[in-house]
Amino acid sequence: MSTTKEIINKYNIRMTKSLGQNFLTDENIVRRIVDTAEVNKDDLVVEIGPGIGSMTRELCARAGKVVAVEIDKHLMPALTDNLKDFDNIDIINGDILKVDIRKDILEKYVATGAFKPGCFKVVANLPYYITTPIIMKLLEDEYGINLMVFMVQKEVADRMVAAPGGKDYGSLSVAVQYYSMAEKVFDVPPHCFIPQPDVYSSVVRLRVHEDPPVKVNDRAAFFKTVKAAFGQRRKTLLNALYNSGYFAKDKEQIREILKSKGLDENQRGETLTIEQFADLSNALEKNRHTN
């Protein structure tokens, strides 16, 4: 099997900076990522951004079916050639944010009975510039994915798994933890890539919840409450909610709702747990409809 460097030289591949391309060269890291995804022959695995297929080969060796979605058409010859030994791979040349996952993947493999619910996984070395939109699309659209493993910028991973009260805790933390149980598994140093990024990366595993850990009466209202609370991090919870303009209440109404939920109006949004956000958003939304 050719190394990453040999494939890059063979096909005269030039990394595209605008696509955030950094190819993983360390085979031990590749195996650890696939281990983290707990891939087996029952699984349908979608890999986002396979590049030249270094990790795709390992996925194909372990999974029942792999669907690789690569946006860069210039990588297609190298990717196809590198995977020619496997018959359980489909390659889609497209943007994952525009691919119809339900129609082009789920209906084709899951809905036909080829794979059972609970055996649908996503593995990806995500470009730093578009990490959050991809993760939130996969979580929010509820495709029936049961496990996702991403390699992302270390600071993004820290935000995804952060607990209340710290500087890393924010709206991304709450959103990811609403949909999944998130854990940071290990860090990856820059020298494991070509070209070397300027920062460390981290591998995170998301076990998608069948049901969210908290009950919210209106999901949109819940996330608007979270967004408002973190929108002005230096402001108190009372002022952040009031200044958001979403709740259409005077400050005294919001103050009373916070008090009724046992929350100090002067605390900051980053101190609230996901349970407190759910309770608060339910109260705000209920009050909104009764006024």
Question: Which residue ranges are tagged as binding site?
Answer: 22, 24, 49, 70, 95, 125
Type of residue found at 105: I
180 DSSP β-pair partners: 208
Q: What is the DSSP letter of 11?
A: T
Identify the burial level of 228 via C-beta atoms within 10 angstroms of its C-beta, where 0-12 means exposed, 13-18 middle and 19 or more buried. buried
Query: Do the bridges between strand 89-93 and strand 180-188 make them parallel or antiparallel, or are there none, so unpaired?
Result: unpaired
Closest CA to 158 of 203, 122, 214, 121: 203
Binding residues for S-adenosyl-L-methionine: 22, 24, 49, 70, 95, 125
- For residue 185, count other CB atoms closer than 10 A to its CB: 15
- DSSP per residue, 178-217: HHEEEEEEEEE-GGGEESPPSS-EEEEEEEE-SS-SS--S
